[in-house]
Each structure stands twice: as C-alpha cells, then as structure tokens.
Structure 1
Amino acid sequence: MGATSVEQERAKAYVVEIAANSLASALAAQEGGASRIELCTALELGGLTPSPGQIALVRERLSIPVHVLVRPRAGDFAYADEEHATMLADIAYCAAAGCDGVVVGALTADGQVDVARCWEMAAAAGGLDLTFHRAIDVCRDPAAALEAIIGLGFTRVLSSGGAASAMDGSANLRRLVEQAAGRIEVMPGAGIDADNVASLMAATGARQFHASAKRALPSLMRFAPASALGMAGGETRSDAAEVRRLVQALDAAARAA
C-alpha cells in the first residue's frame, strides 16, 4: 500500500496550502506548485463553504489534494442546531465527492472547543483528513484548545497565533508548535506571502503554511453605473506567479536551514 497524503506531507521539508476561492484560483494554485488547496468562497468574510458544483469541478480538475472549508456563515463559531446539521451534511457531501479533507471547527458559548460537535463532524468525515480552522484564534485558552483538538484526532490546526497576521502572532505560534511536539501540525495563516514566509518559518518552527496568494482582477463589465449598488469591481483570485514565488521562497529557506 502506498503512503497516504499525510505521510507524504510529513516527509516534506514544508507544505504550501492555498486558500482557493474558485475553480480558477484552484487551478492557479496547482500551476504555481501548491501542495494542496483549501477550497472556499467569500474570502472577504474569512471563508465560507463552497457550492456542491464548485467542489465537484475542482475535484475533477485538480490532481493535488483538495480540502474543503465547511463554515455555514460568517461571524463566530458557536453554531445553532440547524447550522450544525448543515455542516454535517456538507461534510458527508465532501466525503462522497472524493475530497481529501475538510476544514472545520466549532466552539462553545464560553470560548472552548465544542468537543461533542467536533466529534460528530469527525465521524461524518470518515477517513478524510481533518484541519481545525482559525476558531482556535478566538478561544479562551489556545493551549487547552490545542490539547482538545489533538484529542479529537485532527491532523493540523490553522492559526494566526491569535493576531491579525501570522507574523504578528509568531511568538504565540512558536509556543503552539512547541506544545504540539509533533502530535499535530500547527499551520500559520493570515497575511503570509513570499516576502515574509521564510522569516515566519524561522520564527515559528512551522513546516506548513496557508496563504491565498491572490490579486485583484478588473471587472469584465463595460457598463458600470455610478452607484453600482455596492456591486462594482472585478473578482479576486489566487495567482500562479504569486504561488510560485511563495514556493520558491520556502525552497530557498529549506535549503539554507
């Protein structure tokens, strides 16, 4: 039996995960040399669950692992029963669609990991790879949260170290990496690009990094009324050249280490 994708990742010096908000972004991430993607929509809201059609098309077109963000709405991470049921159904769809992993998380009202609901999400995922998302950054006690996440069997946790950017939270990320001690991957995310990723690697000791590598594109519309009703402008998507720059920066840092 061949090595699993998780085993293959552990053998690598580093892993680059790209937050891809569309099929075009996912293809650009693959072209640029990303290790895997986190498929989502509405990056401006912190990322939400993509549509079934988008999931199916990305899974069909990509050869690198596809992890899907399952987050039913923007805002906090304490979910109502109906929202939790929706998340379980979305996770089951991802498993049936042949995705490689899901990115999930839930908190209690007092800011702790909602272990009961996360167990249910892990069960719905079956054998899919599990990432706990940045809900950890708004937990009451990140160290206790990390232990709970490890106990739930997650492969990695995405975090900015509780700061606006991973660079700002690098000291906290270093503490999480040291606490994890190889039991789980701590993956920095937020504000990471080719210009700071080598410094972040050195500061945190992390080996996996999450970025969007995106750029804004002009609108395709020639007609744009003055008010635009708040709907003017083009899309933002991951850029293959930016992904490539990020990968090359990590290549150089890994060789120098």
Structure 2
Amino acid sequence: MSYQIEICANSVQSVINAEKAGAQRVELCDNLWEGGTTPSAAMIKLAKEKTNIAIYVLVRPRGGDFVYSDLEFEIIKEDIRICKELGVEGIVSGVLNADGTVDKERTRELVELSKPLPFTFHRAFDVANDAFRALEDIIDCGAVRILSSGQKNSAIEGIDLLKQIQEKAAGRISIMPGGGINPDNISELLSIGCTEFHMSGKKGQESLAKPSAV
C-alpha cells in the first residue's frame, strides 16, 4: 500500500532534513514543547527558499487550549493571510468551543480564508468531547484532513478510535494518525486503512555553546 509521510519540522534545517529523507511534506511549527505554535514569517520564508518540499504551516497563536479570544482569532486569520502571501502549500489549524465541541463558525471561516490551500484540522480533535460529532462537524466545515492520535498519548494507543473514525469518515476526509509513529509500528496503522502519517523523527542535539568555566 502506498502512503505519504508528513514530518513535523520546527526549524528550517528540519525542513531541509525532511526533504533529503524523502518526506512528502512538512508541518512547520515552533515551540514543540508547547505542542507547537505558529512559526515566524522569516522561518516560513527561508524554508520556502531553501527547499522544494510542500510546507503546511501550523497556525496556533499560543500553547494551551484551543478556545480563542476575539483578538487571538484575529491573529490566527492574519497569520493565515501571511502564510498564503509566502506561498505555503497548506494550513493546519482549528478552533474549539469552551464545552469541547468544534467551533464550526470560526473553523469554517478559517477554512474559507485558507482557500485554495488545503486545511488540516490539528490535534485539537484529540481533546474534543465527542470524536464522532467532531468528525462530522469538521467535515461540514470543509477541512480535508484531521490529524489525530485517537485521543490518546500516541496513535498506537488510540488505534481503536482511529480505526472507527477512519471507517466513519468513509473517504469524506483523510484521517492522518500522528503521535509516536515509527518504522516499527506504522504497519499496524496501515492495517486500519490510513494512508497519511505524521511523524517527528526528532532527536536531541548538543549545544554549540562552550560550558562556562567554574
């Protein structure tokens, strides 16, 4: 079965590495320790200049929950406009209501603003209070993809729910597992019919700074 790999990249160098490794696209973000936030315009611009890989940009103004004030929502919309001006290939975002349901009005507005770029609803899905209702709401908003770990810490832990929403989606939207996916377990996720996978491929790197003398 053929499938596509999306790499979570938090730097221009990571985008370069993902392209060299043969990934089909990247999700570019910043602040991974907060679950990912919107990267700077400079990072997006240089990533576009230095590579030819498809770049989807995470548009999320802060860490924490996915319920946004009016001002934060304006920031999200402005970041989407900037991303489009910079020539990215896709947008990754989404909004929830305080009760854990999908904010359909705002999410639909973001999908429309992103057009003609494809819109991925990010892992806000994993904290929605009803996965099946959220699935239908996101489809109704016009998103083309949902990134999810099956509402668990990893996609393997959430494989049962991923299988259910994959079947329920019935080709109306792509379900892209993400979270803890590696070469040893991707075959399990392929077996439930998913064809796109979100991976980080991250590893630690020593600082170039020399330690201070004591």
What TM-score, normalized by structure 1, do the two folds share?
0.81
Aligned equivalent of 1:209, options 178, 183, 197? 197
Aligned equivalent of 2:189, options 180, 200, 203? 200
Rg bigger for which structure? 1
Aligned equivalent of 1:49, options 38, 51, 57? 38
Amino acid at match of 1:201: L
Identity of aligned residues (%): 45
SS at match of 2:143: coil
CA drift at 1:224 = 4.3
SS at match of 1:108: coil
Amino acid at match of 2:197: F
Amino acid at match of 1:36: R
SS at match of 2:82: helix
Q: Judge conservation of contact 2:9–2:200 (CA < 8 Å) in 1.
A: yes
Aligned-CA RMSD value = 1.2
Where does structure 2 lack aligned partners over 5 or more consecutive residues?
none
Give the distance between the partners of 2:123 and 2:29, measured in 1 at CA.
Answer: 14
Name which structure has the greater RCO, CA cutoff 8 Å, separation 6+: 1
Where does structure 1 lack aligned partners over 5 or more consecutive residues?
1-11, 227-257
Alignment map for 1:10-159 (pairs within 5 Å):
13-159=2-148
Deviations 1:113-165 (A, max 9, x none): 10111122112212111000000111111101011111111110000000010
SS at match of 1:168: coil
Give the distance between the partners of 1:143 and 1:71, measured in 2 at CA.
Answer: 23
CA drift at 1:60 = 1.5
Alignment map for 1:208-247 (pairs within 5 Å):
208-224=196-212
Structure 1 segments (4+ residues) deviating >4 Å: none
What TM-score, normalized by structure 2, do the two folds share?
0.97
CA drift at 1:223 = 2.4
Give the distance between the partners of 1:17 and 1:155, measured in 2 at CA.
Answer: 15
- Tell me whether 1:177 sits opposite 2:166 in the alignment: yes
Give the distance between the partners of 2:177 and 2:213, measured in 1 at CA.
Answer: 41
Q: Judge conservation of contact 2:108–2:142 (CA < 8 Å) in 1.
A: no
Q: Which moved more, 1:153-162 or 1:189-198?
A: 189-198
Q: Judge conservation of contact 1:95–1:126 (CA < 8 Å) in 2.
A: no
- Count how many residue pairs are aligned between Structure 1 and Structure 2: 214
Q: Which structure shows the higher helix fraction?
A: 1
Give the distance between the partners of 2:154 and 2:16, measured in 1 at CA.
Answer: 26
Give the distance between the partners of 2:154 and 2:189, measured in 1 at CA.
Answer: 11
Change (3 A) 1:174 1:53: same
